[in-house]
């Protein structure tokens, strides 16, 4: 073994390298390299660009990217500060009306009839009796003047009031050690949040905007407003609230958005 190792390599040149050969062809070598590199870089770039669009939407890539997204959920849960308050603003900063966001246009909003509307409760809740709009209106009110940030990149400052969500969950005897709160909405929208966010002091079930009842496009009669999540995590026209330990899938998660979407 060691004998073989000590033998000089068969591939080692016997004599010294003829330097003149290299010097003669140096310009040619440099030129070939430059052209190849240019061409190579351009074609790799073009290939990636052309296929980037379809490539991302393949099953394999979606499995990978949604895996990363789910890892990012965990990271966001870790950095969430349960008692850290979002910046608040004054009434002078509030825009009226708020900016609309949904998976359809504002013209397609189907108004909810407040007189017949009921809020259903489900899952790990002791008192599952449904709530009417009048009963909810009788609950203590909290006001939030906070920034609404949309995943698209726009933002505005809104003034929302309604019952503190933690107060409401305690009132109905919800299991506050459960993992998730799932919402169903009158427009078939589904959304869910983690319990830590539900219990944050700036999470409310809003019934008013700028001291007036919320208008139809913005979630009348009841919507969620949390200062620590992106806009789409604030479901409007809520018809049912479920407290659960089983992960509730959501409308936008199915479309490939990040579930936690904290801010």
Partner 1 sequence: MTDAVVKSQARHSQAPHERIATRRLHPLPLRIMHWVNAIAIFIMILSGWKIYNDEVLFGWLHFPDAILPGPWAQHGLQWHFFGMWIFAINGLCYLTYGLASGRFRTMLLPISISGVLKTARDALLFRLKHDDLTHYNMVQRVLYVGVMLVGIVILLSGLSIWKPVQFSELASIFYSFQTARLVHFLCMTAIVGFILVHVSLALLVPRSLLAMITGGPRVPAEPRQDERPLPQQAKL
**Which parts of this chain interact with partner 1 (CB under 8 A)?**
30, 33-34, 37-38, 41, 49, 52-53, 55-57, 65-66, 68-69, 72, 76, 79-81, 84, 86-87, 147, 149-155, 227-228, 252, 255-258, 262-263
Beta bridge mates, 240: 120, 184
From residue 146, alpha-carbon distances to 4, 54, 169, 230 in Å are: 76, 39, 22, 12
Q: State how far the Cα of 143 lies from the Cα of 158, in Å rounded to an integer.
A: 10
Minimum gap (Å) between residue 143 Cβ and partner 1: 18
Q: State how far the Cα of 11 lies from the Cα of 156, in Å rounded to an integer.
A: 71
Minimum gap (Å) between residue 106 Cβ and partner 1: 17
Nearer to partner 1, 46 or 138 (CB): 46
Minimum gap (Å) between residue 81 Cβ and partner 1: 6
Tell me the backbone φ, ψ of residue 218, rounded to 5 degrees.
-110, 10
Nearer to partner 1, 51 or 245 (CB): 51
Minimum gap (Å) between residue 113 Cβ and partner 1: 33
CB-count burial class (<10 Å; 0-12, 13-18, 19+) for 249: exposed
If phi > 0 it is left, if psi is from -120 to 50 it is alpha, else beta; for residue 196 that is: alpha
Minimum gap (Å) between residue 98 Cβ and partner 1: 16
Tell me the backbone φ, ψ of residue 230, rounded to 5 degrees.
-65, 160
Nearer to partner 1, 12 or 110 (CB): 12
The tokens of 255 are what?
A: 């479309």
Nearer to partner 1, 21 or 27 (CB): 27
Nearer to partner 1, 155 or 246 (CB): 155
Minimum gap (Å) between residue 255 Cβ and partner 1: 6
Nearer to partner 1, 52 or 116 (CB): 52
Q: State how far the Cα of 253 lies from the Cα of 242, in Å rounded to an integer.
A: 18
Nearer to partner 1, 173 or 201 (CB): 201
Q: State how far the Cα of 172 lies from the Cα of 52, in Å rounded to an integer.
A: 50
Cβ pair 209, 159 in contact under 8 A: yes
Minimum gap (Å) between residue 37 Cβ and partner 1: 6
């Amino acid at each position: 073994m060691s004998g073989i190792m000590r033998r000089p390599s068969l591939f080692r040149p016997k004599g010294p390298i003829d330097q003149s050969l290299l010097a003669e062809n140096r310009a040619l070598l440099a030129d070939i390299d430059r052209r190849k590199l240019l061409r190579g870089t351009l074609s790799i770039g073009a290939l990636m660009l052309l296929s980037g669009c379809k490539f991302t939407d393949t099953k394999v890539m979606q499995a990978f990217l949604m895996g990363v997204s789910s890892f990012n959920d965990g990271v966001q849960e870790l950095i969430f500060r349960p008692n850290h308050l979002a910046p608040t603003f004054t009434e002078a900063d509030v825009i009226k009306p708020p900016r609309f966001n949904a998976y359809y246009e504002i013209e397609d909003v189907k108004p909810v009839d407040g007189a017949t509307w009921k809020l259903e409760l489900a899952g790990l809740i002791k008192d599952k009796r449904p709530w009417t709009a009048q009963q909810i209106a009788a609950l203590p009110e909290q006001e939030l003047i906070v920034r609404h940030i949309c995943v698209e990149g726009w933002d505005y400052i809104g003034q929302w009031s309604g019952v503190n969500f933690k107060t409401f969950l305690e009132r109905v005897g919800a299991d506050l050690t459960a993992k998730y709160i799932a919402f169903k909405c009158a427009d078939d929208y589904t959304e869910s949040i983690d319990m830590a966010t539900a219990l944050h002091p700036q999470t409310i079930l809003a019934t008013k905007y700028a001291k007036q009842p919320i208008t139809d496009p913005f979630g009348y009669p009841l919507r969620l407003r949390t200062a620590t999540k992106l806009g789409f995590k604030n479901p409007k026209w809520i018809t049912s609230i479920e407290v659960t330990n089983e992960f509730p899938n959501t409308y936008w998660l199915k479309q490939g958005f990040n579930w936690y979407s904290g801010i």
